[in-house]
Structure 1
Amino acid sequence: METIKNAANYVSESIQGAGATASKEANKNVAKDSNANLTTRAQAAGDAVSDKFDEQTHNRKADVHEHAAKH
């Protein structure tokens, strides 16, 4: 039963990590957009940093759950 739980958590964390990656990339594009105003670009850059942190956190958790599901 614990293996199933770990596998489900792995999938969940992987999906959340992918979502954070997509958000990070979108924010990076906004931050680079010379047509956007400075405030918007600065906010997008900050959000990209936050998304990168979330991405790494979810990917680490996914790795832990994947390892636990295998053992």
Structure 2
Amino acid sequence: METAKNAVNYVSDKVSEATSGASHEANKAVAKDSNASLGTRATAAKDAISDKFDENKSAASAEVNKQAATH
């Protein structure tokens, strides 16, 4: 039962990792857009950093769940 739970958590973490990665790239593009206002660019840069942190956190959690599911 615990293995199944770890497998589900692994999939959930991988989805979260992908979502955060896509959001990071979108925010990074806005932060680099010279046509956007300075406030918009600053907010996008802050959000991109937060998204990257979330992406890395999800990747680490996914790896832990993957290891737990296979052992």
Shift of 1:26: 0.2
TM-score, reference length from structure 1: 0.98
Counterpart residue number, 1:54: 54
| Mapped partners of 1:37, 1:67: distance in 2 | 45
Which stretches of structure 1, 4 residues or more, deviate above 2 A after TM superposition? none
Q: How does 1:1-20 map to 2 (within 5 A)?
A: 1-20=1-20
Shift of 1:52: 0.5
Alignment partner of 2:34: what SS?
coil
Q: How does 1:13-52 map to 2 (within 5 A)?
A: 13-52=13-52
**How many equivalent pairs are there?**
71
Shift of 1:68: 0.2
Give percent identity, aligned residues only: 61
TM-score, reference length from structure 2: 0.98
- Letter of the aligned partner of 2:59 in structure 1? N
Shift of 1:8: 0.3
Counterpart residue number, 1:69: 69
Residues 15-67 of structure 1, C-alpha deviations (whole Å, 9 max, x = no match): 00100000000000000001100000000000000000000000000000000
